[in-house]
Structure 1
Amino acid sequence: MTKTLSISSSSYRLHHYYTKPTSRLTSVSLKIRALSSPSSSSSTTSMATKVGPAVIVGGGRVGRALQDMGSGDDLLVKRGEAVPLDFEGPILVCTRNDDLDAVLDSTPKSRWNADLVFFQNGMMEPWFESKGLGDAGQVLAYFAVSKLGEPPIDGKTDTNPEGLTAAYGKWASAVAARLQAGGLSCKVLEKADFQKQMLEKLIWISAFMLVGARHPGATVGAVEKEFRSEVSSLISELASAAAAEKSITFEDAMEDRLCAYSRAVAHFPTAVKEFKWRNGWFYALSKKAIAAGKPDPCPLHTAWLKELNVVQD
């Protein structure tokens, strides 16, 4: 008579057969049979991260682009409309700099430091200080939206292929998630690192716009390619003044980074605009130094502003 002992594991079934001896030799056979698991077809579904809702102030190119990156439950606030008190989430401010006072007037004061996130270019610190916005969030938007409704173009460069856009503050991670959902890069920085990058972008926009304005019709790309020596001298001058004023040390190769970004957005036109928020900060440093009997820290910058009649004094 034959008996069978069956032992199962996750991979194999072991059958140990033995027979009643018919001679002095005991016949033992051991057979291992691979057990194949049932075939199953499974498809991997990538779950898109849901972007949290936000109030978006400003229905221009950037505001609409941010709304398109959302999950459909954002609130778009247009000019003259009020920001609600009870809509949870960040308040993404995408207006012109000169409209910021009106934005504050339409926003409950309890939400100013808690939820406001500013996407504006330029030197914002003096305005923040005047409004008591020491904890306000900020985004350095190194991306471009050419026309209303068009997808944004990320400003990745050959020196920073990981992208340059950065966010700071309470809602920085939420902003980064939204931008990444829209196919853009965004890193989250602490305040000291963010300030350095903010100043670099201020130097970029102040230098390239001013040099371009000296050569009517020049784009950002033309400034980088045809007037490199001029913009190089101005970058060096403005960087030195900013570092001294803020007691910081910039990372090496700033000129290379800023010129690389200019190649990425070579089609941008140039003009000296929003003076108070851009070149005006450097001109204020010059006036302060001269009033104290010290040399102008930005003599080239001052001379070119006067050449273009941007300033007269």
Structure 2
Amino acid sequence: MIIVAVYPITTHNIHDTNTNHVFDCTICLPTMAALTTTTASVLYHRSVVNLNFKHQSSLTSSRYRRISCMAATATKVIPSIIVGGGRVGQALEEMGSGEDLLVKRGEPVPVDFPGPILVCTRNDDLDAVLQSTPQSRWSDLVFFQNGMLEPWFQSKGLGDADQVLAYFAVSKLGEPPVDGITDANPEGLTAAYGKWASVVATRLNAGGLSCKVLEKEPFQKQMLEKLIWISAFMLVGARHPGATVGDVERDFRFEVISLIGELASAAAAEKGIVFEVGIEERLLAYARAVSHFPTAVKEFKWRNGWFYSLSEKAIAQGKEDPCPLHTKWLKELNIVQ
């Protein structure tokens, strides 16, 4: 990336705290006043990182000249079709270069627009999205939805569909997204999987968000962890009307940790995986990062419903319920009978 300006110049060492690298760089500053600390965001290895540097003295030179700083080579954001004009869809469009095509709910997806198709609708609208998309383009669909989508993928013959675990929040329409960085995962939690994963990561990086590109197994583990998080925190919060995610993490920690352990054991047994050590700490840390979120059991089919289906299957086979606490609390709230 080349920065060009005609302001007075000064020289700094820039320390990238993510990689521990130090860059010698000439920086232009649009003021003659002494500065103490300035923060610059630059693209570095396709990621947006914060580089903190200090201006050691006031600018005394009146020289003006063309200067440059080589930090990284910017990567073009590939134009995409974005399905859904809500908070996430509009935020993704803002990260693009102005060449994206925004398709609202119910509108047909064109067959001749190249690139990925970023699906940002509610889960219950996915059937309609698929019907509006030419079958020849199904392999280009990238799903941003929360929850367990695998049974739906299988029922539609989508196989290993591209997915994004979006650990960022857009508080209201038109506002910039806030990255879900936590004290347990300062590198960020958002992850992408599939043939368009690196393209999606580049777009998110351009918008100042982190995004990892993962292979199938590590992505599946992270997907299940997020499913456990939203199922556990929403259910415990629903047991305590008015509780936010932060209230659950702080005041009902024993309940949510117990439920996380139960759901994690059931998911690991069903999928034949082993979660990395510290799942409870990671999910509690994410709760602290989004502590203001309200709690409610929503989109049951896509979230808690998957765990309840494991309970129903086990009981039908004469086995013990793998999620007895989960089942008990669902019944207490009359979510299931």
TM-score, normalised with respect to structure 1: 0.85
1:105 match: 131
CA distance in 2, matches of 1:132, 1:308: 35
- Residue 94 of structure 1 aligns with an amino acid whose one-letter code is C
The partner residue of 1:44 within 47, 59, 68 is: 68
Is 1:216 equivalent to 2:238 in the alignment?
no
2:197 match: 172
2:108 match: 82
CA distance in 1, matches of 2:160, 2:308: 26
CA distance in 1, matches of 2:315, 2:68: 66
- Residue 147 of structure 1 aligns with an amino acid whose one-letter code is K
Q: Report how many residues are paired.
A: 272
CA distance in 1, matches of 2:223, 2:127: 21
- Residue 221 of structure 1 aligns with an amino acid whose one-letter code is G
The partner residue of 1:54 within 71, 76, 80 is: 80
2:254 match: 229
RMSD: 1.1
Gaps of at least 5 residues in structure 1 are: 1-39
The partner residue of 1:190 within 215, 228, 235 is: 215
Is 1:120 equivalent to 2:120 in the alignment?
no
1:148 match: 173
Which secondary structure state, in structure 2, belongs to the residue aligned with residue 242 of structure 1?
helix
CA distance in 1, matches of 2:298, 2:113: 34
Same amino acid, percent of matched pairs? 81
* Structure with the greater alpha carbon radius of gyration: 1
2:307 match: 282
2:48 match: none
The partner residue of 2:99 within 63, 73, 86 is: 73
Which secondary structure state, in structure 1, belongs to the residue aligned with residue 321 of structure 2?
coil
The structural deviation recorded for 1:41 is 5.2
* Residues 223-281 of structure 1, C-alpha deviations (whole Å, 9 max, x = no match): 00000000000000000000000010000000000000000000100000000000000
CA distance in 2, matches of 1:217, 1:184: 30
- Residue 67 of structure 2 aligns with an amino acid whose one-letter code is S
Gaps of at least 5 residues in structure 2 are: 1-63
2:296 match: 271
2:57 match: none
Which secondary structure state, in structure 1, belongs to the residue aligned with residue 102 of structure 2?
strand
CA distance in 2, matches of 1:298, 1:108: 40
The partner residue of 2:230 within 174, 183, 205 is: 205
The structural deviation recorded for 1:49 is 2.9
